[in-house]
Amino acid sequence: MKKNIFAWMALLMSFGFYQSTWAQPANNTCATATVLTSSATCNYTAGTVDGATSDGLPQPSCDAYGGTYAGEGVWYSFTPQYASNIIKVDGSTSIDPVLVVYTGSCGSLTEFDCNDTSGNSHATISNSNFTVGTTYYIRVYDYGSVGPQDGSFNICIQHNASGGSVDLEYADHITLDGVSGNGTGDGDRFGEPGEQIVLAVSLTNNGNTTAHNVSATLSTSDTDITITNATVNWPDINMNATEMATGLAFTIGAAAIEKDVIMNLAITSDEGTFSESFMFHIYDGNLSLHQNDMLIRDGNGGGTGNSNGQLDGGETINLEVKIHNSGTSIAHNVTSSISTLDNDITVTTSNVAIGDISGNSDAWAQSFVFNISASCPDKDVVFTITNTSDEGSWIDTIIMHVNSSSAIAGINMASIHIYPNPAQQYLHINNDGDTQIDHVDIYAINGQLILRTNQTNLIEVSALRSGLYLIKLTDEDGKTGEYKFIKQ
């Protein structure tokens, strides 16, 4: 009798009637779709159509079955990181999988792509027209009207990172030599002999798609530099965005002389590799003259303008610059000069005599004078400051922002909350209104641009030195809003 029972069970299974005893899979419906994530290689997720029920959707375009259509399948969803993706299904020998991709939402789906390799336990969709950031739904079911004896399969999504254009370039760096626990030294943000340096490096993506899994490795052939941490990772960098990462580290030899050192960055992302170089200056530990603060007078004690302490179109600016001698020796007969190649800026007083500056001391250059064209658009302007003494000369490049005199009406900041204030590591931006923030700029209170980013919810500020800063929000229509915060 047992023999006959087993024979009937085998017969039932061969016709697919026995599958009714299987429990429904957790992803039996679109609403309970299993979330998949694409990767550079095929990382399979196990699945099964055993126990799956019909979803009531029309027979897909690639399914040529002429009998009673069943479509008893399971569901997955994924949000592509790239436009080009390959979806693979590899099943047991008894399943003939049909693979369908839909756009839309559960209950309102439109077929996007479909594949049925007839009589085969595999199905593959390769498509380069996915929209990055859009959620797609994937359906897998067995061809025909009778379920398989074994409905198990594996599914993966493999992206093609070369589907977009990414162009990663070095943008800027900040030298940390004992600042906020980064590196060791005198904390003046100038690299000097004997110091341990941590670099906060900014990279810009000039491409037309997001750069994923960005990292860079630092190297140099200079024997006075010993690299102690060569590689760091960046957050994903959106197109036309700049992001900063802190952690590249090295020591400067105690006997190093003042010089420029060529530093090399080998940058990698999922989309490709990039080689960049930049200059790192080793400063004389006994004498070093550099700008470390500024005061803009636009009617507030000098100059003419609206007295808001910022550069605006049509104003005359008296710019006072503080020069710091970070060495131990006296700098004799110091003079300072300012210049720019920007056609909207006319410098009328370009040279200021300062006199002697003792070691580890400051002196103010009072005052450079320049005029801003009334038609100057909203932009960043690059200035060069050259400090000269009997002992040598030192050059600084600074960026100051000019506000157009015909600026668009500002953002309503009442619906935007920025916290904490003071901040130590992160600034949170909570947007309760309809404003869509496009990018965020952080300026020193003297108008110098410190950071630009497309991260509009959480901004890391740990690399900034302590002090007062201006954060400027720009929305998709070009409207701006400003907020001051203190970095502890």
On whether the pTM is more than 0.85, the answer is no
| Exposure on the CB side of residue 27, measured as CA atoms within 13 A | 19
Q: How far apart are the first and last CA of the chain?
A: 84
Q: Is residue 211 located within the same domain as residue 234?
A: yes
Among residues 282, 300, 315, which one ends one of the domains?
282
CATH number, position 308: 2.60.40.10
Residue 486 has pLDDT above 90, yes or no: no
Residue 285 has pLDDT above 80, yes or no: no
Contact status, residue 426 vs residue 453, Cβ threshold 8 Å: no
Torsion angle, CA of 248/254/260/261, rounded to 10 degrees? -40
pLDDT bin (cut points 50, 70, 90) of residue 349 is: very high
Residue 2 within any structural domain of the chain: no
Instruction: Please give the full DSSP string across 50-63, using - where no structure is assigned.
Output: TT--B--PPPPTT-
Percent of the chain whose pLDDT exceeds 70: 93
Residue written as tokens 């060069």? Answer: 384
pLDDT bin (cut points 50, 70, 90) of residue 18 is: very low
Contact status, residue 176 vs residue 246, Cβ threshold 8 Å: yes
Torsion angle, CA of 337/340/343/349, rounded to 10 degrees? -10
Q: Is residue 172 located within the same domain as residue 158?
A: no
Residue 376 within any structural domain of the chain: yes
Residue written as tokens 């990292």? Answer: 215
Please return the burial class of 8, using the count of CB atoms within 10 Å of its CB with bins 0-12, 13-18 and 19+: exposed
Total residue length of the chain: 488
Alpha helix (H) residue ranges in 285-331: none
Look over the chain and give the mean of its residue pLDDT values, rounded to a whole number. Answer: 86
How many H helices and E strands in the chain? 1, 33
Among residues 225, 258, 282, which one ends one of the domains?
282
Number of domains forming the structure of the chain = 4
Residue 410 has pLDDT above 80, yes or no: no
Neighbours of 369 (CB within 10 A): 18
Range of the domain at 32: 13-163
pLDDT digits (tens, 9 = 90+) for 69-113: 888 999 999 999 888 889 999 988 889 999 999 999 999 999 999
Residue 1 within any structural domain of the chain: no
Query: What's the pLDDT at 11?
Result: 44
Q: Which two three-digit tokens encode residue 75?
A: 């569901």
Q: Is residue 26 located within the same domain as residue 150?
A: yes
Q: Is residue 190 located within the same domain as residue 117?
A: no
